A and B are shown apart, each in its own frame.
Chain A
Amino acid sequence: MKKNRQGQMKIQEMAFVLIAFIFLLGLLLLFFARFQMAQIQDISDQIRIVRGQNMLQYVANLPELNCPSSFSGLAGRSCIDYDKLKVFVNNGEINKKYERIFSSAYLSKIEVDIVFPTNETFVLYNSNTQNNVQAYKTYIPVCEEDSQKGSCKIGIVKIWIETS
C-alpha cells in the first residue's frame, strides 16, 4: 500500500513538473514573441516615417504641380505652382485621372494649405477612407506668376497615409 502511494506521488510529481515546464516554456515564448513584435514594430515605424517623408517630397515635386523655370532661384528646392494647383484642384476631369496613382500609394488625403499672407486650402485628393491614417506635413513655397516678377506664399503640404 505504501509503495503504491509512493508511485502515485511520483506520478503527481511528474505531472506537476510537466505542467510547470510547459508553463515556463510558454512564458519564455511569450516573452520572446513580445520582444520580436517590438522589434518588428520598430522597423515598421521607421519604414513608415521614411516613406511618409519621401511621399511628401514626391507629392511636392509632382510635375503637375511643380513651379515653372522662372522660379529657378528656388532650384533644388520644392516649389508649387499656384496656378497649376488651382487648375488641378478645380478641374475634376484632370484630377480624376490621378486618383489611381494616389490610392495605389495608400494616400487617403492630400491637401495644400496656404498659411501666409493669405489663408487658403486646396484638397487635391480625398478617398474618405475609414481606415487608420497617419498625417505628415512640410512647409513649401507656393509661387504665382504675374506680369511683374511673380510672388511666393508660404504653404504646407499635408498628406494622410493609410496605416492599416
Chain B
Amino acid sequence: MIRKLNKFELKKNQKGVVEFGWIFSIIVGAIILFFAFYFVGTQLMQKENMNQIVSSQALDVLYTPFSYVGSVAEASASVAKIDKTSTLTVECSGITGSDPLGYNEVSTYSFYKGEKNIGISRRAYDKYVFAEDGTEKYFFVMSKPLNMPWRIADLVYTFPNNQSYCFIGSPTNIRNELQGLENASQTKHFFFDTENIDSEIKSKCINVCFGTTPGCDIVVNSLKQSNYVLGYTVKNNKKMYYYGNTLLYATLFSSPELYECNLKRLASRASIQRDLYIEKDRVLKQKQCYSLFSLGPLGSSFDNLKKTGLTDREKEDIFAGIKTNSELLNNQNRGADCALY
C-alpha cells in the first residue's frame, strides 16, 4: 500500500517536472521572441532615422544657414536625393520686429497607407528658397547670387527632377545661363528649341513664354524696353515683378505667395546691408577716399519694397527705381578711389 502510494506520488512529481519543463520552454521562447522583435524593431527604427539623416544631408543645400555660392561662382546646380518619394514644401515667415530677416521652413512629407508621415522640417534663416510644392525622390536645386547692386544673398531654386520647362522666345543670355547650369549638373530640364522636342516632353513641359503667346503656363513681360531685365511674370493669374535674371528665375520656379514673402525678406536684408555700406562709406571718407555713393534712393526703394499691400503700379515704380539706382551706384563704385562693394 505504501509502495503504491509512493509510485503515485512519483508519477505526480514526474508530471510536475514535465509541466515545469513546458513552462520553462514557454518562458525561454517568449524571451527569445521578445528580443528578436525588439532587435528587429530597433533596427528598423534606426534604419528609418539613418534614412532621414541621409535625406537631411542631401537637402543640406536648402537648410544650412549662410550662403557662399555667390562669392565663388555665378550660379550652381545639382540634384538632391531623398530616401523615398516625398512632397517638398517651403513656407515663408515674413519679417517682424523681433525677426527682421524672417525665415523659410523647408519640410518633406510622404503618405503611407493613407497616413501622412512627416519627414524633415527645418527653419532656415539665411536661406531664400523659391519652390512650388512638388512630389519626387529627386529634386533639382539651383543657386544664384542676387546682386542689386551688391551681393545681397544667394537664392535657391528647386523643383522636382522630372519637371521640364519649355522656353519660348527667351533672350540669349537666359538660354546660355540655364543651359550652362544643366550641362554642369548633367541633367535636362530646360528646352529652348520647342519645335524639335519629343512630343512626350512637350506634353509635360511647363511653357514659359517671353511676351504674350497663346498656350503659356507662365508669361514673362518686359517693362520700359529693358529686354526682360526689368519686368513682371504672370503665373496663376498673379503678377510678380522682378529686376535681373536672379529674381526672374525666382518668379518662374516659385509660387507667387512664396515669392512675395521672400522678396520682402530680401528687401529687409538689403536694407540692413545699406546701413552697413553707409557706415563703410563714412570710414572710407576718413581715409581720404573721395567718392560719391548715392545709397539713399536705393535704400528708400528697399524700404518701400518691405511694405505690404503695394499696388502693381507701386511695385513697378519701386523696381524701376531699384534698376536706375543700382546702375547709378555700379557706375559710382567702378569710378571710386575705393570700392564700396
Chain A interface (Cβ < 8 Å from any Cβ of B): 3-4, 7, 10-11, 14, 18, 21-22, 25, 29, 36, 43, 47, 51, 54-55, 57-64, 66, 68-70, 76, 78, 81, 83-84, 86-88, 91, 93-94, 97-98, 100-101, 104-105, 145-147, 150
Contact = CB atoms under 8 A, between A and B. Distances in A.
B65 A94 contact: no
Contacts of B39: 29
Contacts, number: 131
A25 B35 contact: yes
A4 B11 CA distance: 10
Interface residues of B, number: 54
B126 interface: yes
A81 B341 CA distance: 9
Given A3-B14, A7-B16, A145-B287, A100 B125 contact: yes
Given A61-B66, A101-B66, A22 B71 contact: no
B101 A11 contact: no
A45 to B, nearest CB: 13
B338 interface: yes
A69 B101 contact: no
14 contacts: A4-B10, A29-B39, A59-B66, A68-B341, A69-B333, A87-B283, A97-B101, A100-B125, A101-B126, A104-B103, A104-B123, A145-B338, A147-B287, A150-B338
A29 B212 CA distance: 69
Contacts of B338: 70, 145-147, 150
A52 B337 CA distance: 37
A101 B126 CA distance: 6
Contact of A84 (B21, B28, B280): B280
Interface string B1-36: 000000000100110110011001001100100010
A87 B276 contact: yes
B57 A47 contact: yes
B64 interface: yes
A60 B124 CA distance: 18
A105 B276 contact: no
Given A4-B13, A101-B65, A63 B125 contact: no
Nearest to A57: B68
B99 interface: yes
Interface in B65-114: 65-68, 70-72, 99-101, 103
Nearest to B124: A104
A7 B70 contact: no
A66 B153 CA distance: 11
A11 B17 contact: yes
Nearest to A2: B10
B295 interface: no
A104 B125 contact: yes
A160 to B, nearest CB: 15
Interface string B140-156: 00000000001111000
